[in-house]
């Protein structure tokens, strides 16, 4: 048996410690399945559980259909047709990603409620009576479906657009020569070939929808996450909340597994040496306007409308300083946590990927793969697991030996953020390392460089952009995170997301303007870079 060197042993131990902190909250949640099931379960089963499950299923189905329509439809149009505004819409279509679902939900209710801005404007235009409502109530399942689809469809758009761009003209032309019209080329060739990409994008949409707490709570749609929250804070029953969380976690794990298996089965690769980029068809007349409108609607609903409404709140919020003390403290708390989590995620992603370059075995690859699944764990479930994990540490070790308590400290919040956002850091860092030819490592070592010098003198300077990307992605993700923050934050410690949530819950929308606007603005930073990449790169078309 080959012995490990001291440095290998050291780094493996560090990896295992990090991995344990990642895994233990999940194990605590799952372990609850093997504990007693109390009387609250009969209440849940008799009265509410069916609603939680059915609402979650209806929501997923509705969001999937609408996101596919928005995401695939717009991706097909911008890659295959030339029409009014296509140039800017191609990159602008991802802007809704900067708006978290709960902020979109707040703006939708503020717009479309009986006395909301949209109804007020319509009443003014048509000189209608005060009671007259021009828009249907959005605080229901349908409103939630519209909100989630409008802000999450870019995941489908992003993956599908790349798939469509990589489809060779020759293949699609072959279809036409075999007698297919434009519509059939789309349904019988382009769509089936893009299926793995569509599934990948849709999986992200579904997982974000399942994880959400803020939007469904605001729309009073009792989904599974609401069930967990109510069981915990309404029935004061953490164990049952954990058992519910386990069910959600198992569902997410099965979903993730099926998605990966399906995607692997369908993993076709068409970009070969015979690749020819698609010639865009110029649309004229009504088709030109229809294509523009089709792309503009999701962009309007998911980005322009909420920005307009938040600006409207801000303009009306003149009673206090725009940058109040409350806002400033929650802003600095958020940025502080974001940067800290960004540094932790990026450092570990860098370390794992660096070590992976020199290890052939499955040890680090497995750890890295499992860690990158953290994004799929709903924030609320994570919070439940971390509370339980920290309570165990407090009760058994820390309180008695060190007179120190982890529960309610900033560390829980940080752990949740790191678990949720590690995948983002890992994706950027892994991609950065893949761009460095392994021959560079070989040559450096043959020139007498040790691994530390290789790390600092070669990899680090070459990875600056990836490191920055990783930091930005993690920070912007953390700024939006609501459920885990709401539960794990220390007493009197607010973040932008929590401040927005509290104001919105109290219907103090004007005051929610500043934190909401800031969340969107910070969220726009990575979107800006992503848009730039979309604008500059046309896979296979250069």
Partner 1 sequence: MKEQEVLTISDLSFGYEKSRDILSGVNLSLKEGEILGILGASGIGKSSLLRIISGLEVPKEGEILFEGRLLNQKNLIIPPNKRGVGLVVQEKALFPHLTVLENVKFGIKGARSKKNDQATYFLRLLKAEKFKNSMPNKLSGGEQQRVAIARALAPQPKLILLDEPFSSLDMNLRAELRLETRQLLKRTNTACIIVSHDLDDVSSFCDKAARLENAQLKEIST
| Minimal distance, residue 511 CB to partner 1, in Å | 48
Distance between CA 482 and CA 523 in Å, rounded? 14
Using rule CB under 8 A, residue 448 touches partner 1: yes
Using rule CB under 8 A, residue 437 touches partner 1: yes
Using rule CB under 8 A, residue 449 touches partner 1: yes
Q: Annotate each residue in 150-189 with x if it binds partner 1 (CB under 8 A) or - if it does not, as one string.
A: ----------------------------------------
Helix (H) or strand (E) segment spanning residue 164: helix 141-165
What tokens does 48 get?
A: 């509410």
What tokens does 191 get?
A: 């769509």
Applying CB under 8 A, which part among 77-85, 174-182, 343-351, 449-457 lies near partner 1?
A: 449-457
| Minimal distance, residue 349 CB to partner 1, in Å | 20
| Minimal distance, residue 445 CB to partner 1, in Å | 4
What tokens does 494 get?
A: 């607010």
Distance between CA 458 and CA 398 in Å, rounded? 41
Give the one residue of 357, 444, 490, 540 binding partner 1; rule: CB under 8 A. Answer: 444
CA distance readout (Å), 372 to 303, 360, 462: 29, 19, 23
Q: Annotate each residue in 455-484 with x if it binds partner 1 (CB under 8 A) or - if it does not, as one string.
A: --xx--xx----------------------
DSSP code at position 394: I
Applying CB under 8 A, which part among 98-106, 115-123, 285-293, 445-453 lies near partner 1?
A: 445-453
Closest to 467 in 3D by CA, of 370, 332, 331, 353: 353
Applying CB under 8 A, which part among 33-41, 164-172, 367-375, 438-446 lies near partner 1?
A: 438-446
Taking a C-beta distance cutoff of 8 angstroms, is the pair 388, 242 a contact? yes
Q: Any residues with CB less than 8 A from the CB of 413 and at least 6 apart, and which?
A: 337, 484, 485, 488, 489, 490
| Minimal distance, residue 443 CB to partner 1, in Å | 5
CA distance readout (Å), 440 to 111, 419, 450: 56, 32, 13
Closer CB to partner 1, residue 400 or residue 450?
Answer: 450
Strand, coil or helix: what is 458? helix
| Minimal distance, residue 447 CB to partner 1, in Å | 3
| Minimal distance, residue 442 CB to partner 1, in Å | 5
Q: Any residues with CB less than 8 A from the CB of 3 and at least 6 apart, and which?
A: none
Q: Classify 540 in phi/psi space as left (phi over 0), alpha (psi -120 to 50) or beta.
A: left
Closer CB to partner 1, residue 3 or residue 177?
Answer: 3
Closer CB to partner 1, residue 188 or residue 365?
Answer: 365
Give the one residue of 359, 442, 506, 507 binding partner 1; rule: CB under 8 A. Answer: 442
Partners of residue 82 on adjacent β-strands: 282
DSSP string, 107-118: HHHHHHSTTSHH
Q: Annotate each residue in 44-63 with x if it binds partner 1 (CB under 8 A) or - if it does not, as one string.
A: --------------------
Using rule CB under 8 A, residue 446 touches partner 1: yes
Using rule CB under 8 A, residue 125 touches partner 1: no
Give the one residue of 335, 445, 468, 502 binding partner 1; rule: CB under 8 A. Answer: 445
Q: Residue numbers of the site for partner 1 (CB under 8 A)?
A: 3, 437, 439-440, 442-450, 457-458, 461-462
């Amino acid at each position: 048996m080959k012995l490990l060197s001291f440095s290998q042993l050291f780094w493996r131990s560090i990896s295992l410690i990090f991995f344990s902190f990642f895994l233990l909250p999940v194990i605590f949640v799952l372990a609850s399945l093997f504990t007693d099931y109390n009387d609250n379960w009969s209440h849940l089963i008799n009265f509410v559980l069916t609603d939680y499950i059915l609402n979650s299923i209806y929501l997923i189905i509705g969001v999937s259909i609408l996101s596919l329509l928005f995401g695939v439809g717009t991706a097909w149009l911008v890659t295959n047709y030339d029409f009014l505004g296509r140039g800017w819409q191609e990159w602008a279509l991802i802007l809704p990603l900067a708006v978290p679902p709960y902020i979109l939900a707040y703006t939708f209710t503020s717009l479309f409620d009986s006395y909301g801005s949209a109804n007020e404007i319509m009443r003014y235009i048509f000189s209608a009576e005060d009671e007259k409502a021009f828009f249907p109530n959005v605080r229901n399942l349908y409103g939630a479906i519209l909100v989630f689809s409008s802000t999450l469809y870019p995941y489908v758009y992003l993956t599908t657009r790349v798939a469509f761009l990589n489809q060779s003209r020759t293949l699609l032309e072959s279809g036409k020569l075999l007698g297919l019209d434009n519509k059939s080329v789309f349904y019988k060739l382009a769509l089936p070939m893009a299926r793995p990409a569509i599934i990948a994008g849709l999986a992200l949409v579904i997982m974000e929808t399942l994880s959400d707490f803020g939007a469904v709570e605001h729309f009073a749609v009792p989904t599974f996450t609401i069930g967990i929250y109510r069981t915990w804070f309404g029935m004061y029953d953490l164990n049952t909340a954990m058992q519910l969380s386990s069910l959600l976690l198992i569902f997410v794990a099965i979903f993730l597994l099926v998605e990966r298996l399906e995607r692997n089965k369908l993993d076709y690769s068409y970009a070969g040496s015979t690749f020819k980029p698609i010639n865009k068809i110029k649309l004229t007349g009504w088709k030109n306007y229809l294509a523009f409108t089709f792309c503009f609607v999701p962009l309007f609903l998911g980005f322009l409308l909420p920005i307009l409404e938040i600006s409207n709140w801000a303009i009306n919020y003149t009673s206090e300083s725009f940058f109040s003390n409350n806002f400033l403290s929650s802003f600095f708390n958020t940025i502080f946590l974001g940067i800290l989590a960004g540094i932790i995620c990026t450092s570990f992603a860098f370390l794992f990927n660096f070590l992976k370059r020199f290890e052939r075995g499955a040890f680090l690859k497995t750890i890295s793969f499992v860690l990158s699944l953290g994004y799929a764990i709903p924030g609320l479930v994570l919070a439940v697991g971390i509370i339980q994990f920290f309570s165990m540490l407090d009760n058994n070790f820390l309180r008695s030996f060190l007179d120190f308590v982890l529960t309610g400290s900033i560390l829980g919040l940080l752990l949740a953020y790191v678990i949720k956002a590690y995948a983002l850091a890992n994706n950027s860092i892994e991609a950065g390392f893949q761009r460095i030819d392994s021959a560079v490592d070989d040559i450096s070592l043959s020139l007498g460089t040790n691994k530390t010098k290789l790390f600092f003198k070669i990899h680090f300077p070459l990875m600056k952009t990836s490191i920055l990307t990783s930091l930005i992605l993690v920070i912007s993700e953390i700024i939006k995170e609501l459920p885990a923050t709401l539960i794990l934050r220390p007493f009197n410690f607010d973040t932008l997301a929590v401040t927005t949530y509290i104001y919105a819950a109290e219907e103090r929308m004007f005051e929610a303007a500043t934190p909401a606007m800031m969340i969107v603005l910070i969220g726009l930073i990575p979107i800006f870079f992503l848009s730039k990449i979309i604008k500059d790169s046309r896979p296979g078309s250069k």
